Amino acid sequence: MTPAGALVRATLLLLGAVLGVTLAARHLSPLPDLLLVVVASAALRAGPRTGLLTGLVGGWLLDLLPPGSAVLGTQALLYAVCGLAVGALRRPGPVSVVWVVLVIAGVASGLEVVRGALALAQGVPVDVLSSALRVLATATVGLVVVPLVSAVERRSERRRFA
């Protein structure tokens, strides 16, 4: 990856994290997981190692942005595992949009299950309908955003900065 590509990916992660936290503060529901869409896009494009690193950095952003995480590093580990899983499901060559949506929906479902288990372990009630709607919203946003993010990353890597 070129430095320009890394800068674009970091900017997209920051944008996804800040936008997600900002919209969550407005109590919009169902709120898609924008950071997961960026992590999935990177993992589908570049593989499991890139997905793991992108998820780790994105999760750290969520851990550090207010309201943060109850245990520092929890989000970083969750998103790193999601990036690794999506990267393992990467297919070489052109990929159908249906595959992208299924992968994002599957990983978003797994993420919601783990978040629900963590909430139950802390004694916090879990709204299953809200979690299901969040998975649906994330998959729908992924349908549109993943091709756009991939195009932006491809274009940034083609450019040569002197």
Give mean pLDDT, residues 132-153: 92
**Per-residue pLDDT reduced to its tens digit, 42-89:** 999 999 999 999 999 999 999 999 988 878 899 999 999 999 999 999
Give the number of domains in the chain: 1
Give me the residue label for tokens 């994105």: 58
Q: Which domain holds residue 147?
A: 3-158
| Backbone φ/ψ region at 161: left (φ over 0), alpha (ψ -120 to 50), beta | beta
Task: Give the CA distances from residue 153 to residues 1, 57, 149, in Å, rounded to whole numbers and listed in that order.
Answer: 10, 17, 6
| 121/115 Cα distance (integer angstroms) | 10
Give mean pLDDT, residues 119-140: 95
> Is this structure's pTM higher than 0.85?
yes
pLDDT band at 135 (very low <50, low <70, confident <90, very high): very high
CATH number at residue 61: 1.10.1760
